[in-house]
Amino acid sequence: MMNTRLKSIFIFGLLLIAASNASADGGTKILFLGDSLTEGYGVSKEKSYPALVIEKLNHHYEQRRMGKRVEAIYGGISGSTSSSALSRLRWFLKAKPKVMLLAMGANDGLRGLPVPELEKNLDATVSLAKKEGIIVILAGMKLPPNYGEKNAAEFEAVYTRVAKKQGVTLIPFLLANVGGEKELNIDDGIHPNEKGHVIISELVFPYLEKVL
């Protein structure tokens, strides 16, 4: 059963899709599909890395008078695991995204969910996106050091295998230079603060710029 919070988020997603479809400027739509890191837990929406990347890309195009624009489809849900990725992608196909940044799996790892299931879920989601003609960027995740070297290595390797099998671009670690840095995270030590999201946006920007 879907809890009340998830129901509200899906309804909000419908409104976002409707707004995207009603867009008049024909901007290329980028789907950011993820969990609380992508939702921007702990910061305002406009300070989350997806919003910052979109702003940076559009500013980049405007400066160069390239006549291009991009729009974000915000698909981050706090607490979500990779098991929801495929069904959520099907939902967001209505908005006709051209690019998808898939950043899921952190909660799988933190909860100790089976690594083979994570791989299966990511692989199926990327497969559907490619079938629909969507360009995919897969964002890798890592486990905290206290989870043990063996578990961490097995978890991290999933992203490399999926990216290689599917032939998609891989960002090795979405939280590079942010994860574990006290001054770049909110009080829970897990979710990036505004400064952390700026760094993530700077990491993601060149990957999106290249595929666009």
Active site positions, annotated: 36, 188, 191
CA-nearest of 17, 48, 52, 11 to 31 is 17
Helix (H, G, I), strand (E, B) or coil at 149: helix
Rounded Cα distance between 126 and 162, Å, is 8
Region of residue 132 (phi > 0: left; psi between -120 and 50: alpha; otherwise: beta): alpha
Residue with tokens 């897969």: 138
Region of residue 4 (phi > 0: left; psi between -120 and 50: alpha; otherwise: beta): alpha
- Helices and strands, counts by H and E, the chain: 8, 5
